[in-house]
A = this chain, B = another copy of it.
Amino acid sequence: MTESLTASVVGASGFTGGELLRLLYGHPDFEIAQATSRSYGNKTVGSVHPNLRGMDLRFSDPEELESVDVLFACTPHGVSMEHIDSFRDAADTVVDLSADFRLDTESEYDEWYDGHERPELLAESEYALPELNRENLLDADLIASGGCNATAAILGLKPLFDADVLSGGERIVVDVKVGSSEGGAGGGEASSHPERSGVVRPYAPTGHRHEAEIEAFLGTQVSFSAHAVDMTRGAAATCHVYPDDPVSTADLWKAYRGSYADEPFVRIVAGGSGVYRYPEPKAVAGSNFAEVGFELDPRNGRIVVFSAIDNMMKGSAGQAVHAANVALGLEETAGLEFTGMHPVGAP
C-alpha cells in the first residue's frame, strides 16, 4: 500500500460527521487528521458517537485546521460558504456535504434559499452523484455531495430519461419516506421520541428544497413530497410517472440495466419471490448501496419507480467518500465495502 492520504472532518460531532469518521477509520487509504467540533472541545469522538468509543481521537478546534489532502465539511447549510476559503486553504480537495454548493447558478440558489455569500463558486463546484457524473469528479477540488432525497429520486428516475422512456414534459410525482436522522443531531420537539415515533407525518409537502437539486439534475420539474416515518436511517422514494408511449417490463429492465449494470453500489430489485421484492431502506442500512426498482401499471399507464438508500451513507457520508475516491483516483469502493445486515430493525 502507498502512503496514506490525510483527511479532516469539519463538524464531526453531527450524525454525518460521525459516519464519515467511521468510514475514514476503516478506509485503507486515509488517515484521519482532525475531527473538529465547536461544542465538544477536547472530548473523545466516542463520547458523542458511541460506536466509536474505542477510537483514540478527540475533537479539535475548527478554527485551527491542519493542512490535509481532503477535507470533508459536515457543517449546517450556510456555514460552508462562510468558511470555504479556510477549507480550501487547508485542503487540496474539499468535499462539502451541505447544500451550499449543489446548485449551479445564483438565480437557482435564490429561488430556493436565501442569498449565497459566494455565488461565484457555484459554477466552479462539482455536484457529486458518482454513478451519473463520475467523469466530472476526476481531479475536482470543490465537490458538493448530492443530498439524500435528491439522490434517491435521481437514481430512480435518471434511467428513464437516458432510455427515452421519459422526455421531460411528463408529470412526475416523487413521494419520499425518510427517517429521523435527516433532522440531524439535537432535534426539537417534533423529533422527540414520544412525538416522532410511529409517525407517518407529511413535512414540507410542497416546495421542498430538494426539488431544486432533482430538477437541476434531471432538467425537468418534479412534484416532490416528503413524509417522516418511523426509522432512524433511510430514504425511500416512490416515483409515479406516466410515459407518453407505452413501455414493457422488458423495456424497463433494459433501461435500468443500461444505467446500472456495472455500478458497484446500485442494485436493481424488481420482483422475484420472498419477502424482499423491491428496494427497501432496511436492505441497505449502514451501507453505501442504493436499490432501485420498478413496477408497471398498465391499467393506469403508469410506471412506479422505487428507490432506497441509507440517507447517512449513499445520501451523505458514503456518497462523499465515494466522490473523494473518484476525485483522488482511488479504488471507488475503498472503505465502502460494508454490505449491511439481516435482519435489522428500524435501521
Contact = CB atoms under 8 A, between A and B. Distances in A.
A346 B197 contact: yes
Contact of A267 (B15, B53, B222, B278): B53
Contacts of A339: 22, 25-26, 51-52, 54-55
A179 interface: yes
Contact of A198 (B49, B231, B299): B231
A344 interface: yes
Given A187-B193, A192-B186, A300-B223, A51 B171 contact: no
Given A206-B299, A345-B198, A240 B240 contact: yes
Interface stretch (A85-93, A120-128, A283-291): A283-291
B187 A194 contact: yes
Interface in A271-309: 272-287, 289, 291, 295-297, 299-300, 302, 304, 306, 308
Interface residues of A, number: 99
A5 interface: no
A236 interface: yes
Contacts of A26: 337-339
Contacts of A181: 194, 343
Interface of A: 15, 18-19, 22, 25-26, 47-55, 171, 173, 175, 177, 179-181, 183, 185-187, 189-202, 205-207, 221-223, 225, 227, 229-234, 236, 238, 240, 242, 267, 269, 272-287, 289, 291, 295-297, 299-300, 302, 304, 306, 308, 312, 337-347
